[in-house]
Amino acid sequence: MSVCRVRLGRDFPESGRFEWALVSELGQVLESGVSDLAMPPRGRPCEAVLAAELVLLERVALPAAQQRRLQSALRFLAEDSIVPDPARVHVAAARTPQKDVVCVGVVDREWLVQALARLGRAGVAPIAAYPETLLPPLEADAWIVACSGDESFVRTGEAEGFVLDRAAGDEPPVALRLALDAARSNGRAPQRLVLRAASGAALPDAARWSEALELPVEPGAAWRWSQARSRPRFELLQGEFAPRGTGGAWREALARPALLAAALVALMSVAIAADWALKAAERDRLQAEMRDLYRQSFGESAVLVDPPLQMSRALAELRLAAGKGSASDFVALLNAVAESMPDAGAQRVEAIDYENGRLSLSLRARDPTKAAALAAQLRARASAPGLEIRVEEAAGGALRLIAAVPGSK
């Protein structure tokens, strides 16, 4: 989905002038303009890009245990890095891979209030804001220098960078020299600098900079603020400035997982429906075959209600008429139970009960001390092809041996 980006400079609250660009997901600029010539398209997600000079980015050491109370103390964590009263600035934070370090961005609070109000009057409500410093893509072991005259800056990390001062001729800026010295002393120095011309500006002499800084310096491709494929993870609209009614950053972070979950649910629903349809068709086919087989066996005039049950009963009647007993007959069940019982002298049968194809024998061990052994023997031998035989303990030490054809009641 395309997104509209607006770039705000220091004079925006007074002049109301800003640049805008409609950018595709691949970073392609679809439309662009300036506010006093053409307003950006409405009804699209909007992101505010703050000029590099408006945001001070710093690394702050903070124990992990205190990061849960980070929001309430942000202004005072950055107190050493700012000149104004901490109450007059807005400070946003971003966690880093280092457990005890956070990156903070400091913005003049009054300027931010006025800028958001001015955008609101123009019908633009940003869902995110971030510094221009973090837009140039990073390269391995390199600092990226965006050369744009008085608005030049350097990106040094995922959420780190700084503004450059104006240097005379082709001399490297003092701020860059000092930053490199500090990085070398901390063991975080880059292995090279990449110069990228921003807004059509000319690049400085790379060879002169390399000699002065004692570091490889190489020219890179031209760059423009609107070309970033994705926005930085650093979010300035935190705390009191968090977007209202849009769900904030957490909703956007959950958007893709939610879409994926919805797609999986839809796919699973289609798969379940297809499986159910196939099984329903198979059931109908089998029932049709059973009806045909029943009518072939008992005539076309036979009334069908429950084909499986009717077929089972009819088969039992035919077997009985042919002189062949059923497995659920009393004699067949009694014979199967007798074969599964141990030595007849170890127990005595007290009662026999037969009803609806179910035979139940009540028996007791002749020696009461051997009742448990008898139960174990009966359970070990309680098996017969086509029958279900189980042993239950009754009151008074008696045992019940129950035999039935599986599925019979």
User: Within this chain, do residues 274 and 167 fall inside the same structural domain, yes or no?
Assistant: no
User: Phi and psi for 359 in degrees, rounded to 5?
Assistant: -110, 135
User: Within this chain, do residues 144 and 268 fall inside the same structural domain, yes or no?
Assistant: no
Count of domains observed in the chain: 4
C-alpha distances in Å from residue 215, one per residue of 19, 65, 152, 189, 348: 35, 39, 19, 10, 103
* Under 8 Å between Cβ of 22 and 4: yes
* Under 8 Å between Cβ of 102 and 93: yes
Q: Please give the pLDDT value at position 131.
A: 94
78 C-beta neighbours (distance < 10 Å), count: 20
User: Within this chain, do residues 306 and 360 fall inside the same structural domain, yes or no?
Assistant: no
User: Within this chain, do residues 265 and 118 fall inside the same structural domain, yes or no?
Assistant: no
**Cα distance from N-terminal residue to C-terminal residue, the chain:** 64
* Under 8 Å between Cβ of 75 and 85: no
* Under 8 Å between Cβ of 138 and 145: no
User: Within this chain, do residues 121 and 7 fall inside the same structural domain, yes or no?
Assistant: yes
**Would residue 251 count as lying in a domain?**
no
Residue 177: Cβ-neighbour burial (10 angstroms; 0-12, 13-18, 19+): middle
**Would residue 409 count as lying in a domain?**
no
User: Within this chain, do residues 338 and 304 fall inside the same structural domain, yes or no?
Assistant: no
* Closest listed residue to residue 55, CA positions, set 236, 271, 318: 236
* Closest listed residue to residue 76, CA positions, set 68, 63, 85, 67: 85
* Under 8 Å between Cβ of 401 and 389: yes
User: Within this chain, do residues 239 and 112 fall inside the same structural domain, yes or no?
Assistant: yes
- Distance (Å, rounded) from C-alpha 304 to C-alpha 149? 94
Q: Tell me the residue range of the domain where 313 lies.
A: 256-321
Give the global pTM. Answer: 0.56
C-alpha distances in Å from residue 376, one per residue of 214, 345, 373, 379, 402: 91, 16, 5, 5, 15
User: Within this chain, do residues 32 and 120 fall inside the same structural domain, yes or no?
Assistant: yes
CATH of the domain at 100: 3.30.420.380
Q: Please give the pLDDT value at position 248.
A: 46
Q: Please give the pLDDT value at position 152.
A: 92
Q: Please give the pLDDT value at position 26.
A: 77
Grouped pLDDT means (10 residues each) for the chain, 409 residues: 88 92 84 84 85 90 54 49 65 79 88 92 89 92 92 92 83 92 92 90 91 93 85 87 61 69 85 91 86 76 71 72 69 77 75 82 79 80 74 78 70
- Distance (Å, rounded) from C-alpha 110 to C-alpha 295? 91
